[in-house]
Amino acid sequence: MNLYLPPDYRPMLPTEGMEDAIKLLKQTFQAELAEALSLRRVTAPLFVFADSGLNDNLNGVERPVSFPIKDMGDRRAEVVHSLAKWKRMKLAAYRIPAGHGLYTDMNAIRADEELDNIHSLYVDQWDWERTIRPEDRTVEFLSDIVRRIYGALLATEAVTHQAFPHIPPTLPREITFVHAEELRAEFPDLSPKEREREAARRYGAVFIRGIGGPLFDGSRHDGRAPDYDDWSTPTPDGLNGLNGDILVWNAVLDAPLELSSMGIRVDPEALLRQLEMTGCMDRLALPFHRALAAGEMPPAVGGGIGQSRLCMYLLRCAHIGEVQAALWPEVMVARCAEAGVTLR
C-alpha cells in the first residue's frame, strides 16, 4: 500500500458540500467535452462476453472480474476494464460519420489495482470515441484533439473557480507536447515515472506521445494493449506513435496526475503489426479483431478521461476516495482519518 499524506492538509470543501461540487464539475466537463468533439452520449455496458475480445487488456497482466451466466449455459462475462474496443464497434453500428462521435459514463472494476492516493478498485471515466477520415491519422490531428480536450478542462476549471472562489485556477493556458523518446533522451538515468514527474512539474500540463511502443533503446515508457491505440506508426518527425497521455501537475500531492489516456486507433496494418510485436496474433480469432483486420471498423480516435481524478484535481483533494465511494484497506482509512482526509 502506497499512501502520501500532505502535511497540514485541509479539505477545500466540507464533506456535505463535496457532492454538489462533484455534480457541478461532472456536468460541466461532459457538456464541454461533447461540444468540443461533437459527441453524443450513449449508454454503456458494465460487462461483456469474455470470448468477444471487447474487454480492454490494459497492460496485459490485469485479471478481469468474471462470472458465469446461468441462463446462457454458463457462458462467461467479464466486468469491463474500459470500453476502448466496444466504442469503436458502436461507431460502426450507429454509422456515425467522420467528425462526430460518442461518449459514455463508464464504470469499471480493476481488482488488481495497487491502491494509493489516485488508484482505486472502482474506475469511473468518460469513455469517448470519434470517427475520423483516413487522412486524419496524423500527429497534427491528434494534437488538435488534445487541445480541444484541454480547452474543456480549462473551461471546467473556470467554472470551479467561479463557484468556489477560494479554489484558484492553476492550469497553464496551453498544454505542452513531448514524445516519450524525447523524455528518455533528456533523462536517460530516470525511470519513465520519474520522467513524467519532471515533465509535469516543468510544464504544468503535458501530453506525452508514443506510449506503448519500443523507444530507441528498446525500452517502453509504459505498457499499452496492441489492439486499440496506435503506438507504432512512424511519423514525419522520425518518432513512432499516434497516442499518449494527458498529465497535469498536482501540487497537493507534489506529483504528476494522469487525467487521460487516448490516441488515434489502429488501422488494419497497425493492428497486425502490433499484434505481431506483442506476440498476440491469436487474437485475430476473436470477432472484434477479425472485423478490424478486414477493414470493417471505421478509422477512429478515442480515449478515457477519469471522472474522479478530474474532481480530486480541481477540488484539491489529497485522495481519490474523497470524491468516490470504494473499498480501501482499513489501515489506509485510519491513517487518512488521522490526517484529516475522509474517505467515502
Positions marked catalytic? 56, 110, 125, 245, 258, 261
151/309 Cα distance (integer angstroms):
17
Return all residues near 190 (Cβ < 8 A) that are at least 6 apart: 198
3-class DSSP string for the chain: CCCCCCCCCCCCCCHHHHHHHHHHHHHHHHHHHHHHHCEEECCCCCEEECCCCCCCCCCCCCCCCEEEEHHHCCEEEEECCCCHHHHHHHHHHCCCCCCCEEEEEEEEECCCCCCCCCCCCEEEEEEEEEECCHHHCCHHHHHHHHHHHHHHHHHHHHHHHHHCCCCCCCCCCCCEEEEHHHHHHHCCCCCHHHHHHHHHHHHCEEEEECCCCECCCCCECCCCCCCCECCCCECCCCCECCEEEEEEEECCCCEEEEEEEEEEECCHHHHHHHHHHCCCHHHHHCHHHHHHHCCCCCCEEEEEEEHHHHHHHHCCCCCHHHCCCCCCCHHHHHHHHHCCCCCC
208/256 Cα distance (integer angstroms):
12
What grid cell was written down for 301? 480516435
